[in-house]
Amino acid sequence: MIWLPAMILGAIWGARTALKRGGRRLDAAQYGAVYALGLGLLGVLVSIIIDRMMH
């Protein structure tokens, strides 16, 4: 269940990055979505690795 917090943190991180670079709300939403997907995928991979190591 690492993917859910990773997605939330990714969305926050992406939105803050877009706003820091002078983006508007839609830019922040797009960056947030992309970062959330990326970190969510990374979280899924980490979860799979941890699960495989425990068995």
Per-residue pLDDT tens over the stretch 1-55: 899 999 999 999 999 999 999 999 999 999 999 999 999 999 999 999 999 999 8
Using only C-alpha atoms, the chain has a radius of gyration, in whole angstroms, of 13
pLDDT at residue number 1: 85
pLDDT at residue number 47: 95
pLDDT at residue number 37: 98
CA-to-CA separations, 1 to 7, 23, 32, in angstroms, rounded: 11, 31, 20
Listed by start position, the domains of the chain span: 3-54
Farthest CA pair distance, the chain: 47
pLDDT at residue number 21: 97
Whole-model pTM: value is: 0.89
